[in-house]
Homo-oligomer: A and B are copies of this chain.
Amino acid sequence: MAKSEAPSPTLASSKASFSFDAPTPGPHPLDRESPLPLWSQLQTELTRRLKAEEFAEGFPTEQELTVVYDVSRSTVREALRRLNELGLIQGRRGQGRTVRASPQPFRTGALFNLITISEGMGLPARSDVRAFEIRTDAAVALRLALGADAPLVYLERIRLAAGEPLAIDRAWLPASLAAGLLEVDFSDALLYEELAARCGIRPDAGKEYIRAIDPDAESRGVLELPDGTGAFQIERLTLSDSIPVEWRSTIVRGDRFELLAEWSMTSGMKLSGQVPSNT
């Protein structure tokens, strides 16, 4: 059922439109010349279509996907397995896969709470890009377990929320892994999404140091932070497959952000960020 008698062109039917790059609806072809694995491309592609709500009338079967994207069933399953782990879809033997209502506010192991705190906070992810280039930095390279003069992709952004500065965000990534990011416009993109889509890197572990500081005059100016107000400094080492992929240092306005830790015997601990609820 629900076979694609669709008006939109499928990939299998013809090669008529092979150079489409615009955000057209329907399936986009995979790039067999890309260094990214096919399953990774397929995962990104299906995530895109999920967000575009193209599967409102049911998720495709494995068989359909092998035909539409012209890959083997194993490749399809590898991509679907990851989507399942991320809580985006759900499958059952005999009755196909379904799109999950909400991306699970709280998945099994993979909670990205801390990662997403300074990455969006649920607010529009507008940013002011102050620097985006290749640099070297001996101190950062050390933390990334690289040589002192290793080239690094450096991205410095002012994160805005409701039009007002919320944080200064500085990120360094090994250029050997992340050079593919350089063409992205990060005034309106999420770093970890682009990292997955363009570099095939998906953070799976990390360490975060959270401190309370009194920011220097320059930071105060950039953040428009009033006197008598403090700030968080959050430094983060991000790993993927046990390999360091990012060092990040973020300064967050203390009057616009707080951490909320909830704990209970039964459900364990949950940490989240939010705008201050009182005082």
Residues of chain A touching chain B, judged by Cβ–Cβ distance below 8 Å, are 85, 90, 92, 108-115, 204-214, 227-232, 239, 241-242, 252, 254, 257-269, 271, 276-278
CB pair B213 A230 closer than 8 Å: yes
Copy total for this chain: 2
Contact residue among B115, B204, B209, B214 (Cβ-Cβ distance under 8 Å from A230)? B214
Nearest B residue to A112, CB-CB: B263
CB pair A254 B205 closer than 8 Å: no
CB pair A269 B111 closer than 8 Å: yes
Contact residue among B227, B258, B266, B269 (Cβ-Cβ distance under 8 Å from A210)? B258
- CB within 8 Å for A212 and B209 given contacts A90-B242, A269-B111: no
CB pair B214 A228 closer than 8 Å: yes
CB pair B214 A267 closer than 8 Å: no
Nearest B residue to A86, CB-CB: B109
CB pair B258 A211 closer than 8 Å: yes
CB pair A206 B262 closer than 8 Å: yes
CB pair B276 A204 closer than 8 Å: no
CB pair B268 A268 closer than 8 Å: yes
CB pair A263 B214 closer than 8 Å: no
In the complex, A211 Cα to B204 Cα: how many Å? 27
Nearest B residue to A249, CB-CB: B279
Nearest B residue to A242, CB-CB: B90
CB pair A260 B207 closer than 8 Å: yes
CB pair B212 A265 closer than 8 Å: no
The interface residues of chain B lying within 8 Å CB-to-CB of A254 are 211-214, 230
The interface residues of chain B lying within 8 Å CB-to-CB of A271 are 261, 269, 271
CB pair A265 B204 closer than 8 Å: yes
The interface residues of chain B lying within 8 Å CB-to-CB of A232 are 212
CB pair B212 A213 closer than 8 Å: yes
